[in-house]
A = this chain, B = another copy of it.
Amino acid sequence: MSHVVAQLQEALGASVSLDADALEATREDRSGWRSATPPLAVVHAGSVEEVRRVMRIAHANGTPVVPRGAGTGLAGGAIASPGAIVLDLSRMNRILEISEADELAVVEPGVVNGDLNDALAPLGLWFAPDPASRAIASVGGNIATNAGGLLCAKYGVTREAVLGVAVVLADGRLIRLGHRTVKGVTGYDLTALFTGSEGTLGIIVEATVRVRPITAGVPVTVAAAFADVTAAAAACAAVTADRIRPAILELMDAGVVARVAAFLGDEALAGTPLEQVLPGETFLIAQTDDAGATSEAARIAELFAEAGGRVTLSTDEATGERLLDLRRAMHPALAASGQVLIEDVAVPRSKLPEMFRAIDEIAARHGVEIPTIAHAGDGNLHPNFVFTGDEVPAHIWQAADEMFRAAVALGGTLTGEHGVGVLKRRWLAEELGDDVFELQRGIKAVFDPTGILNPGVMFEASVVAAR
Q: Report A220 CB to chain B, min CB distance, Å.
A: 13
Taken together as a complex, chains A and B put the C-alpha atoms of A373 and B392 apart, in Å, by 61
Residue ID in chain B nearest A178 by CB atoms: B413
Q: Which of A4-12, A63-71, A156-164, A276-284 contacts B (4 or more CB under 8 A)?
A: A156-164
Contact among B379, B418, B435 for A169, CB-based, below 8 A = B435
Given contacts A192-B159, A291-B290, A435-B169, whether A181 and B428 have CB atoms under 8 Å apart is no
Decide yes or no whether A349 CB sits under 8 A from chain B. Answer: yes
Chain B residues, Cβ within 8 Å of A101: 237, 240-241, 348-350
Decide yes or no whether A179 CB sits under 8 A from chain B. Answer: yes
Taken together as a complex, chains A and B put the C-alpha atoms of A431 and B185 apart, in Å, by 11
Q: Quick check: A420 and B186 within 8 Å, CB to CB?
A: yes
Q: Quick check: B99 and A348 within 8 Å, CB to CB?
A: yes
Decide yes or no whether A196 CB sits under 8 A from chain B. Answer: yes
Taken together as a complex, chains A and B put the C-alpha atoms of A179 and B157 apart, in Å, by 14
Taken together as a complex, chains A and B put the C-alpha atoms of A252 and B256 apart, in Å, by 56
Chain B residues, Cβ within 8 Å of A182: 152-153, 157, 346, 378-380
Chain B residues, Cβ within 8 Å of A20: none
Decide yes or no whether A443 CB sits under 8 A from chain B. Answer: yes
Given contacts A156-B160, A169-B435, A243-B124, whether A443 and B346 have CB atoms under 8 Å apart is no
Q: Quick check: A183 and B245 within 8 Å, CB to CB?
A: no
Q: Report A43 CB to chain B, min CB distance, Å.
A: 23
Contact among B295, B378, B418 for A185, CB-based, below 8 A = B418
Chain A to chain B contacts (Cβ below 8 Å), 18 pairs: A101-B348, A104-B348, A146-B189, A157-B182, A157-B183, A160-B160, A173-B435, A176-B436, A179-B413, A180-B412, A182-B379, A183-B346, A184-B416, A185-B416, A185-B417, A187-B440, A292-B292, A445-B446
